[in-house]
Amino acid sequence: MFYVLAFQPEFAEPIVNISVAVGRDATFTCHVRHLGGYRVGWVKADTKAIQAIHEHVITHNQRVTVSHSDLNTWNLHIRSVMEDDRGGYMCQLNTDPMKSQIGYLDVVIPPDFVQDDTSSDVIVPEGSSVKITCRATGIPYPNVTWRREDGAEIVLKDSTGTKQLVNSYGGEVLKLTKLSRSEMGSYLCIASNGVPPSVSKRILLSIHFHPVINVRNQLVGSPFDKDVTIECNVEASPKSINYWIKDTGEMIVSSPKYNVQEISQSLYETHMTVTVRKFQKEDIGSYRCIAKNSLGEVDSSIRLYEIPDPKGNTFSPKYGGNNLNEVIKTFKRPKVTYQPDDDDQLGSAEDYDESEIPNIYTKPTKTPHENNGRHNNVAMFGIGGMATRKPMFPIPEVRGSSDNEVSTAISSAPTVGYNYRTFFVVNSVVSLLSFGRFLS
């Protein structure tokens, strides 16, 4: 007698768990050995809803299908996965007793923002505090990180006012206190949970304050027939209306005579310039740059003056520098002795105080025997800390008309930059000395 030994069906390997994002497709595979005349079924584990039996789909869900490549490999397909599809799926064999194994479908959701709980653009006054919020959802729950769009550091302050500068900040709520204008700009909140794509939201923080004008040079000089440029730096938020007015009341606009420009340097900084072409006598005077916004108005003046300069250089004294009269006051003018009409009479060197003129010394240019026993003394001057020494030989007194004429000649010179003023005073003294030697 012969007996036929039949093998019972069994699972060849476990079902692999799946994690997919919403909207993607998912496929479970059940591997079986020795299936014979038995059948394979698919059941949703949590609801006990039959999905399919062998080659036939039972569920009314149009997104569910089945397939098999042979009697050993059976597939359950779910198209366009939804969040409700999350859970366990059971592969069953109709043996006695029934055999089954489960694979789990995890449906993940990319991050997104809850619009009702997320801040929009914010406008606050300078010195105030603000909280900006980005509320995010997603599975798994996303992390929220803050950065500045311009790459600058975020300024965090604690209750004591201590500052901390960070490149990024983690958390759904970003609190900024005692705001300064430098903190103005766009802030990005970025939500990510490992499920692409990450999302970000741009929140513009506007900090309002009244206009401020900074002027580097309030006195600007130039020779005639040269182009000269004056400039103002404006800080204002909201953006200000900026314009130039001459001391005659005339508003300056771009024309063949003037070139007016504005360059925006940041959200609240603007660089104003006006170039006066072919500077002439009628262009001398004050020019006002004016900035006005909804919070206030401010202006600043710049004065243009003429500098007689044969080399055509333009001088721009620094704001706050000494004027020419203040420079002259630091030096004592040379003594002038009135001489008789006798042309042969020489002045006395004792009438001149050589210690009163700074940084001047003389040196002989010829030896005594080369100049009939007399020395020619050449005046040398030092500026900016150059080494100096006392005169080697007496300096003859200076012939002149009157002290008042010398004083008037000096004080009538135009106001210029410090280096130019120093050169003017020293050069005038040297000229007087040379003139005295010539008369002697």
**pLDDT tens digits, one per residue of 69-107:** 888 999 999 999 999 999 999 999 999 999 999 999 999
**pLDDT tens digits, one per residue of 23-59:** 999 999 999 999 988 999 999 999 999 999 999 999 9
- Whether 193 shows a pLDDT value over 50: the answer reads yes
Phi then psi for residue 407, to 5 deg, are -60, -40
Tell me, what's the pLDDT at 158? 87
> Residue 289 CB: number of other CB atoms within 10 A?
24
**pLDDT tens digits, one per residue of 407-438:** 333 344 443 444 444 454 445 555 555 545 54
Residue, of 339 and 106, whose pLDDT is higher: 106
Tokens coding 288: 């006002």
10-108 and 114-210 in the same fold: yes
Tell me, what's the pLDDT at 247? 93
Average per-residue pLDDT for the chain:
79
What number is the average pLDDT over the span 181-185?
96
The residue ranges of every structural domain in the chain are 10-108, 114-210, 215-319, 325-439
- Whether 64 shows a pLDDT value over 70: the answer reads yes
Cα 148 from Cα 45, distance rounded (Å)? 48
| Sequence-ordered strand ranges (E) for 218-284 | 219-222, 228-237, 241-246, 251-252, 258-264, 269-276
Phi then psi for residue 372, to 5 deg, are 55, 40
> Residue 414 has what DSSP assignment?
P
Among 206, 218, 210, which Cα is nearest to 235's? 210
Residue, of 430 and 296, whose pLDDT is higher: 296
**pLDDT tens digits, one per residue of 231-283:** 999 999 999 999 999 999 999 999 999 999 999 999 999 999 999 999 999 99
**Strand partners of residue 107:** 20
**pLDDT tens digits, one per residue of 306-330:** 998 666 554 444 444 444 444 344 4
Cα 352 from Cα 336, distance rounded (Å)? 8
Assigned architecture for domain 114-210: Sandwich (2.60)
- Whether 348 shows a pLDDT value over 70: the answer reads no
Which contiguous run of DSSP H or E holds residue 435?
Answer: helix 418-439
Tell me, what's the pLDDT at 404? 41
Tell me, what's the pLDDT at 311? 62
Tell me, what's the pLDDT at 253? 95
* 182-187-188 Cα angle (round to 5): 155
Tell me, what's the pLDDT at 319? 41
Tell me, what's the pLDDT at 24? 95
The fold of 215-319 is: Immunoglobulin-like (2.60.40)
**Strand partners of residue 229:** 275
**Strand partners of residue 108:** 21
- Whether 340 shows a pLDDT value over 70: the answer reads no
Tell me, what's the pLDDT at 436? 52
What number is the average pLDDT over the span 365-378?
41
Tokens coding 197: 């794509």
Q: Under CATH, domain 10-108 is a member of which superfamily?
A: Immunoglobulins (2.60.40.10)
Cα 346 from Cα 436, distance rounded (Å)? 10
- Three-state SS for 285-323 is EEEEEEEEECCEEEEEEEEEEECCCCCCCCECCCCCCCC
Reported confidence tier of residue 8, pLDDT bands at 50, 70, 90:
confident
